[in-house]
Amino acid sequence: MKVAYFPGCTLKNKAKQLDDYAKKAAEALGVTLEEIEEWQCCGGVFTTACDEVATKLSSVRDLVAAKNKEQPLVTVCSACHNVIKQTNHAMQTNKEFADKVNRYMGEEPYSGETQVYHYLELLRDVVGFDAVKEKVVNKLSGKKIAAYYGCLLLRPNGVMKMDDPENPTIMEDFIRAIGADAVVYANRNECCGGYIAMESPDLAKKKSNAVIENAKAAGAEMIITACPLCKYNLIKNGADIPVVYFTELLAEALGVKEDTNE
Amino acid sequence: MQKITQTKLIDKAASLLKDGTVSCVLGWSKGEFDYDITPAVFKTEEELKEGFVWNDFCGANFSKYLIEKTRKTEGKILVFLKPCDTYSFNQLLTEHRFDREKVYAVGIPCEGMADVEKVKAACGDGIIKIDCGEKIAVTTLYADDAIEIDAKDVLLERCVNCKSKKHVAYDELLGEEGEVLESARFDEVEKLETMTPDERFAFWQNELSRCIRCNACRDVCPACTCEKCVFNNPQSGVENKSPANSFEEKMFHIIRAYHVAGRCTDCGECSRVCPQNIPLHLLNRKFIKDMNEFYGEYQAGAEVGQRAPLVNYTTDDVEPGEVFDRGDIDA
Amino acid sequence: MQMNEYKPLIVAFCCNWCSYAGADLAGNNRLNYPADVKIIRVPCSCRVNPMFILRAFQRGADGVIICGCHPGDCHYTSGNYYTRRRMAMLFSMLDYLGIEKERTRVEWVSAAEGAKFAATMNDFAEKVAALGENKRLEDLRCKR
Amino acid sequence: MNNKYLQEDLLRMSGVNPKKCMRCGKCSATCPAYDEMEYHPHQFVSMVENGDIEPLINSDSLYKCLTCFACVDRCPRGVEPAKLVEAVRLAAVRRQGANHLKADMVPDMLDDETPQQLIVSAFRKYSK
Amino acid sequence: MQRIGVFVCWCGSNIAGTVDVQAVSDALKNEPGVVFSTNYQYMCSQAGQDMIIQAVKEHNLTGIVVCSCSPRMHEATFRRTAQAAGLNPYMVEIANIREQCSWVHKDIPIGTEKAIILGKAAVAKVNLNTPLTPGESPVTKRALVIGGGIAGIQTALDIADAGFPVDIVEKKPTIGGKMAQLDKTFPTLDCAACILTPKMVDVAQNGKIRIFSYSEVTDVKGFVGNFDVTIKKNARYVKEDICTGCGACVEKCPMKKVPNEFNLGMDNRSAIYIPFAQAVPKVATIDPNACNMLKNGKCGLCARVCAAGAIDYTQKDEYIEEKYGAIVVATGFNPISMDKFDEFAYNQSKDVITSLEFERLTNAAGPTAGKLLRPSDGKHPHTIVFVQCVGSRCDACAEKGKEYCSKICCMYTAKHAMLTRDKYPDTDVYVFYIDVRTPGKNFDEFYRRAVEEYGVHYVKGMVGKVVPEGDKLKVQASDLLSNKQLHIDADLVVLAAAIEPDKSARPLATMLTASMDTNDFFTEAHPKLRPVESPTAGVFLSGACQGPKDIPETVSQAGAAASKVIGLLAKDKLTGNPCIAHSNELMCNGCSSCERVCPYGAITYEDKEFRMPDRTTLVRRIAVVNPAVCQGCGACTVACPSGAMDLHGFASGQIMAEVDAICK
């Protein structure tokens, strides 16, 4: 099957692996990620104020592009996912806002028809973790991996509706699907301080440390994440266990990692 | 042309009369004109040979007559049932309207019945003679030779959109059994549904304003079998004999369609007998289509003892406010 | 008379156990709704015969609303489930005949929903008033 | 009067109804940036409700909120304090010359690994 | 032709303030059938009623229209008035010109006009009223109590005490309910078992009470005074009448790893079990999901050790049908699931527990024999954090938790905190609260003692997150009064989970046709004046199934419900509602449409012989309504195509007359 794909700015620069591995792994699972043409930056952060219209237009254009392709839109980066999903939700539920946006768009009015999936949701709801399990060639047995969700994937739950925001399981199920052991720890849904890493590096350090310590106390040997911001923050703030993108592990498990290292 | 012959039916009836299985026969007989065929009761072989008719104009559905006849007749009654008639037959049994034991039902195949209006349209007025053979040969006052028409070209609306060639009830079947058919009977309803309310209003205003309240639709309807019809009952609050204005025209037809909703087998008799050619079946079919869509496929009379949609429910039925937007229901 | 002054006539059938009590509660709480709404008490919404609705239109009503207990909460267990089917069928038919669909409505109002009752009546009256006089289903002999 | 206007503006922008708050303090209990803040999430709610908004606009607390939505998700009353914080922040940076982050400040904040999105989002949040 | 009297009530200024009552009575004077019309300040007062009685006599009235408050308020009053005046009580109609007119409209001309129209509608209806006589039905002098907790126990004891037989249906193997799981009770700190178990024994020994334990109600038919109830006795695979409760089977059972529900899964029981020592009936039950013998036919040890021979692996579920005059619902409550509140890590750490679990941990008969030990490692906790209002008082749009206050949590938490400090003075106890609600006798004094005498730290604020790390629970909370975020390393966190009605209540309500609110609590017939009756006649409410309640409140409500039941069962006959369906046999088609929609099975068919005009006879199938069973909903009247079926009191003709009057 083919789906529309939104990589986002960071995946084309600092987080190239997240992007490459995602595409190869999806291909191995029978899903082609078709990058939408001339996609625009999602904006990085979703402004909750309902009178901020212009800042959300770029996300809407991406959503419209997927609608025109008649495909669901898949994202990998947690931040992009959060912004695009929240924008889509606003287009569905806030008529006044949608009207304003559509006046900028000038084409056929858009009202949130595009289905937005995070890559993890694609694995769980479309491919199925059982199918992933079957395709695994390198089982990562015995590896104790802690999933780090951060805040953007899960919250606000009323919009994201990905998983139980307080006790999520989607990444743990993913870890088990590729044959490793999932380490469950309470801070996995607490913020690492990502957005303020430039503004208040000390606060970011404190928050990142709390995550790392809690994961380690629970026995983690490695942390996986879906977010370049989280990865940056955790590594920068002294993670002494590896922090990697979940797509990298997926590619490794599916045996397509080598192809990617050109 | 009908596959089974008139002679065969007369022979069957005569032998059943003779061996005492039945005491009389409910059948078709010739009326004033060849196309004007009416129901009749035959008690002897002679009477049968004299008047029994079976041809392309035997549209009449006899099920309803059984209510009255079974009450008044000693012994069994032989009734010939075309496939569509058998649904009405079952529906009346579901409603306990006659005693099944008093009826000997013979299923007969049907190739579709002719619409006199269409014949007239093809041959003109002044019909004096019709012969039903391979083709329908029509002799009129104004033409020298009989005009031959293919029966397929002049079928009744209900036969064009025949829903079933299968008999759902009989004691004995003559000829071959058919199948339930895929018909396009809801196409017209759909067309109306896609019109604007104003267009629909105009359509029905035009149709129903022609109603002369002859009551033929009610009187022929195998579902309209009330001991006392609400329109004849001063206590009912809706009694009226003739429509004084467009409200009463509409009320009569809405209530009539509503009363038979879930019980109407879509036999099409109402439209067949309407002297004003009002497409009354479009009201009944609207209900049938709605019920199929909202509550699951339901064919009244398909089986005896079925529970009709309007005397049934589920806890998650569609809300009355949601019935208008048809696109959403399908999705 | 100007259009915007048009006062519609609305007949509301309310079941005794939920909606009539809800209307009483609206009164207790002094929640306003138009005086154009006149309530007829019935034991259950399933008592409402389509003939009553047609009769109301015939006599000049501009809108008819049926209120009953919420599905599942019927005092008689299942009465409102029948109402739901009957009215779905009737409303669909009226729509099919080109009668404005805003003139008929079914609303589930519990005994505790005085505010919903008042809000429903305000909204219904407003929608019916916007349509103006009922001309498609009226009996000229019964004109006021 | 002016304050009333600002208050209404904040409530409209954020879509938050502070009257729903039952003063449980769970937002502040859950806030990961609590210790860095002069005014805490529950105070944003009650101060906006009281029209006591200027102190919030002038406070550094606006730039400490992580936008992690923990208070939004965990509030038992559905008040959504983070949206109110954001509204106040916008009210502040939308004022003439009040951008919190200026372009010439950025180079010093970067390192080799800084992801692009961090810069983009910082501008979105702190400048207009 | 009727002779109708119209009586317009001012209701002080309630009606007269917005409706010109004189104009109303004048206008209605000219309506067909009306021979007398007047108005008065308070029609429902003695003087007002006397006025009606006198008018009936003076003017030979045959019908009465009262324009007043809602018929739900005073219809019964004015029917009695009519009766006193020698009229049939059903010749009265009420025009509701208060709740549905004067109270919702402000403008006098508008209110007056509407009141006149409503009055006209009532007059039009009375013109078609006919005298109705209610049927009578006998009363089955036996009560059913559904639920065997303290509410059900108290209700059953009180009813039995008055001499009426009572059956208790309890779905668990023993009666006792939640109270049997508690340790102490606030605010007196009596031991729950010490005051409950004697009552349980009373139930067991009372000759008037039967206990159907491990049973459930599966069907309810009939009506007040005459309920037909089907009770399913689940197979317990032990013959109840033979088992002595010696416990030999429990001891020998090799399958000992079944989570013990009585201790909320904090320890294990065997596959054959007696829930607790004082269980009533004290009879063993085999858990079919755990027993090897029942699952795969291997074992049979319990049968071998049972001296009484009570074990029966072939036992089947049994259905019992019984008649009752009254039914009391006492289905109680449960704590809500903590799944949606995992910021408190309930699913992530064994040391985060609910308050009910805490009760078991401090109960001498509990999994730790009454020693307060952590479930994870059995160590004594030194710092305990109690969190109040978990899932209570939530906004509906938050889509988790309940909107209501669970009412009992403030007090039991004070009790837990106090008892902990009393028994283990070395323990630090924090209680995080939003408000402390103590409106009960000696309640606030109790809470103050916990703070002042026992040194419990009450902190105004909420816990935001609990993070298990190592063997500690890192609690992050706010202290609103000192404007600080607190970080506490706790050993045990106790959540005061909101309570909700038992899940069995919703299907039961459907069976009973008793109404429920959006939270699945049963609604009472009147929130103030009829708090223990359901709006469905003959169904009564006891305990927390009606709303959150503590024990003293539950017991007093249980007694009140019992007195209502006794009042009902003491009657020999009940007067029914005469507003029921009836079929006109001349018009009936016998088509069965009415029977199919009747929710009560009140319609049957018979073959009836008719004499025809031509002197022949005709046998036709016609519908017959059983007046004792029909409740008068009217579903049949619309299903009937011929209009043969009609409803007394709400006849088609009457409703259409009202329509006409309103639309005229």
List per-block mean pLDDT (blocks of 10 residues) for chain C, which spans 144 residues. 68 95 94 95 96 93 95 85 96 94 95 92 95 85 66
User: Could you report the per-residue pLDDT of D66-125, keeping only the tens digit for each?
Assistant: 999 999 999 999 999 999 999 999 999 988 788 888 888 888 888 888 898 898 889 888
Distance CA(A39)–CA(A6), nearest Å, equals: 7
Q: Which residues of B212-222 are buried (b: 16+ CB within 10 A; e: fewer)?
A: ebebbbbebbb
Report the residue from A166, A185, A214 with minimal CB separation from E343.
Answer: A166
Residue numbers in E near A218 (CB within 8 A):
469
Q: Taking all residues of chain E, what is their mean pLDDT, rounded to a whole number? A: 95
Q: Give helix then strand counts, H and E, for chain A.
A: 12, 8
Distance from CA of C143 to the nearest CA of E (A): 8
Distance CA(E440)–CA(E438), nearest Å, equals: 6
Residue D110 lies in a domain: no
Report the residue from A167, A217, A218 with minimal CB separation from E347.
Answer: A167
Q: In CATH, what is the architecture of A129-260? A: 3-Layer(aba) Sandwich (3.40)
φ and ψ at C28, to 5 degrees? -55, -40
| Residue C113 structural domain | 3-142
B226 touches chain E (CB under 8 A): yes
B327 touches chain C (CB under 8 A): no
Cβ of C106 within 8 Å of Cβ of B238? The answer is no
Evaluate whether chains B and C are touching (3 or more beta carbon pairs less than 8 Å apart). Answer: yes
Q: In CATH, what is the architecture of A2-119? A: Up-down Bundle (1.20)
Q: Where in chain E is the domain with CATH 3.50.50.60?
A: 136-233+318-332+502-572, 335-500
Work out the percent of chain E whose per-residue pLDDT is above 70: 100
**B330 has a pLDDT exceeding 60:** no
Mutation for A interface: E343, E395, E472, most A CBs within 10 A: E343
Strand order in the sheet with B147-149: B127-132, B136-140, B147-149
| Confidence tier at B325 by pLDDT (50, 70, 90) | low
Residue numbers in E near C20 (CB within 8 A):
70, 72
Query: What residues of chain E, 356 to 375, have a C-beta less than 8 Å from chain C?
Result: none
Domain E4-126 has CATH 3.40.50: yes
Distance CA(A254)–CA(A131), nearest Å, equals: 11
Distance from CA of E602 to the nearest CA of C (A): 13
| CB-neighbour burial class of residue B287 (10 A; exposed 0-12, middle 13-18, buried 19+) | buried
Which residues are B160's β-sheet partners? none
Cβ(C81)–Cβ(C44) below 8 Å? no
At B192 the three-state DSSP class reads helix
**E12 has a pLDDT exceeding 90:** yes
Distance CA(A109)–CA(A101), nearest Å, equals: 9
The encoded tokens of residue A123 equal: 């694995």
Q: Locate the chain B residue with the closest alpha carbon to E598.
A: B311
**B329 has a pLDDT exceeding 80:** no
E493 touches chain D (CB under 8 A): no
**E581-648, what's its fold?**
Alpha-Beta Plaits (3.30.70)
Cβ of E634 within 8 Å of Cβ of C40? The answer is no
User: Could you report the per-residue pLDDT of E455-507, keeping only the tens digit for each?
Assistant: 999 999 999 999 999 899 999 999 999 999 999 999 999 999 999 999 999 99
Report the residue from E586, E593, E596 with minimal CB separation from B227.
Answer: E586
Residue D46 lies in a domain: yes
Phi-psi bin for E543: left (phi > 0), alpha (psi -120 to 50), beta?
left
Cβ of E652 within 8 Å of Cβ of B226? The answer is no
Following CA atoms A230, A236, A241, A244 in sequence, which dihedral angle do they give, to the nearest 10 degrees? 40
**E449 has a pLDDT exceeding 90:** yes
Cβ of E460 within 8 Å of Cβ of D70? The answer is no
Q: Is the complex ipTM higher than 0.95?
A: no
Tell the CATH superfamily of the E335-500 domain: FAD/NAD(P)-binding domain (3.50.50.60)
**E398 has a pLDDT exceeding 70:** no
Cβ of D22 within 8 Å of Cβ of E461? The answer is no
**D2 has a pLDDT exceeding 90:** no
Chains that touch D (3 or more CB pairs under 8 A): A, E
What residue type is E613 in one-letter code? P
pLDDT value at residue A262: 41
Chains that touch B (3 or more CB pairs under 8 A): C, E
Chains that touch E (3 or more CB pairs under 8 A): A, B, C, D
> What separation in angstroms does the CA of A213 have from each of A194, A217, A234?
17, 6, 11
| CB-neighbour burial class of residue E312 (10 A; exposed 0-12, middle 13-18, buried 19+) | middle
Distance from CA of A158 to the nearest CA of D (A): 8
What residue type is B34 in one-letter code? D
B-E Cβ pairs (cutoff 8 Å, strict) = 55
Report the residue from D42, D76, D78 with minimal CB separation from E480.
Answer: D42
φ and ψ at E458, to 5 degrees? -90, 120
At E109 the three-state DSSP class reads helix
pLDDT value at residue B144: 81
Q: What is the separation of C-alpha C37 from the centre of its chain, rounded to a whole number of angstroms?
A: 8
User: Could you report the per-residue pLDDT of E95-121, keeping only the tens digit for each?
Assistant: 999 999 999 999 999 999 999 999 999
| Residue D51 structural domain | 2-95
| Confidence tier at E443 by pLDDT (50, 70, 90) | very high
Residue D115 lies in a domain: no
Distance from CA of E589 to the nearest CA of B (A): 6
Residue numbers in B near E621 (CB within 8 A):
96
Cβ of C35 within 8 Å of Cβ of E111? The answer is yes
pLDDT value at residue C144: 56
Q: Parallel, antiparallel, or unpaired for β E143-146 and E166-169?
A: parallel
If one counts the domains in chain C, the total is 1
A199 touches chain D (CB under 8 A): yes
Domain harbouring C73, CATH code: 3.40.50
pLDDT value at residue E254: 95
Extended beta strands in chain A, E state:
2-6, 32-35, 73-75, 116-118, 144-148, 181-183, 222-225, 243-245
Distance CA(E159)–CA(E165), nearest Å, equals: 8
Residue numbers in E near C31 (CB within 8 A):
104
Distance from CA of C82 to the nearest CA of B (A): 6
pLDDT value at residue C111: 87
Cβ of E589 within 8 Å of Cβ of B312? The answer is no
- Angle E409-423/E355-362 helices, nearest 10 degrees? 30
Cβ of E653 within 8 Å of Cβ of B237? The answer is yes
Cβ(C87)–Cβ(C101) below 8 Å? no
Residue numbers in A near D67 (CB within 8 A):
45, 151, 195
**Interfacial residues of E (vs A; Cβ cutoff 8 Å):** 339-343, 345, 347-348, 399, 465-470
pLDDT value at residue C1: 38
User: Could you report the per-residue pLDDT of E327-379, keeping only the tens digit for each?
Assistant: 999 999 999 999 999 999 999 999 999 999 999 999 999 999 999 999 999 99
Distance CA(E234)–CA(D17), nearest Å, equals: 51
The encoded tokens of residue C81 equal: 């489930």
> What separation in angstroms does the CA of A262 have from each of A17, A34, A256, C38, E636?
11, 21, 12, 80, 79
Cβ of B227 within 8 Å of Cβ of E653? The answer is no
Question: DSSP readout, C61-110?
Answer: -SEEEEEEPPTT-BTTBSHHHHHHHHHHHHHHHHHHTT--GGGEEEEE--
If one counts the domains in chain D, the total is 1
How large is the average pLDDT for residues B189-195? Answer: 93
10 Å Cβ neighbour count for E201?
12
User: Could you report the per-residue pLDDT of E591-646, keeping only the tens digit for each?
Assistant: 999 999 998 788 999 999 999 888 888 999 999 998 877 889 999 999 999 999 99
Question: DSSP readout, E462-488?
Answer: -EEEEEEETTEEEEEEEETTTTEEEEE
pLDDT value at residue A212: 95
Report the residue from A47, A196, A229 with minimal CB separation from D117.
Answer: A229
Domain ranges of chain A: 2-119, 129-260
Which residues are E6's β-sheet partners? E37, E65
- Secondary structure letter of residue E381 according to DSSP: P
**B230 has a pLDDT exceeding 70:** yes
Cβ(E637)–Cβ(C51) below 8 Å? no
At C143 the three-state DSSP class reads coil
Distance from CA of D74 to the nearest CA of A (A): 9
Report the residue from A166, A185, A187 with minimal CB separation from E341.
Answer: A166
Dihedral sign of CA atoms E8, E13, E14, E18 in order: positive
Chains that touch C (3 or more CB pairs under 8 A): B, E
Residue D116 lies in a domain: no
pLDDT value at residue B326: 58
Cβ of E621 within 8 Å of Cβ of B96? The answer is yes
10 Å Cβ neighbour count for A258?
10
pLDDT value at residue A261: 44
Cβ of C78 within 8 Å of Cβ of B250? The answer is no
Distance CA(C138)–CA(B198), nearest Å, equals: 16
C90 touches chain B (CB under 8 A): yes
Give the predicted TM-score (pTM) of the model: 0.73
Cβ of A196 within 8 Å of Cβ of D66? The answer is yes
From the list E134, E115, E141, E7, the residue with the least C-alpha distance to E61 is: E7
Distance CA(D41)–CA(D28), nearest Å, equals: 5
φ and ψ at B183, to 5 degrees? -115, 165
Find the helix or strand (DSSP H, E) in which B92 lies: helix B83-94
Distance CA(D66)–CA(E344), nearest Å, equals: 21
From the list B319, B286, B266, B290, the residue with the least C-alpha distance to B83 is: B266
pLDDT < 50 regions, chain A: 260-262
Cβ of D118 within 8 Å of Cβ of A197? The answer is yes
At B130 the three-state DSSP class reads strand
E389 touches chain D (CB under 8 A): yes
Q: Locate the chain B residue with the closest alpha carbon to E659.
A: B237
φ and ψ at B128, to 5 degrees? -115, -20
Cβ of C20 within 8 Å of Cβ of E117? The answer is no
Residue D117 lies in a domain: no
Length of chain C: 144
Distance CA(B74)–CA(E367), nearest Å, equals: 83
Cβ of D124 within 8 Å of Cβ of A198? The answer is no
Cβ(A33)–Cβ(A24) below 8 Å? no
B283 touches chain C (CB under 8 A): yes
Half-sphere exposure for A32 (CA within 13 Å, toward CB): 5
> What end-to-end distance do the CA atoms of chain C give, in Å?
15
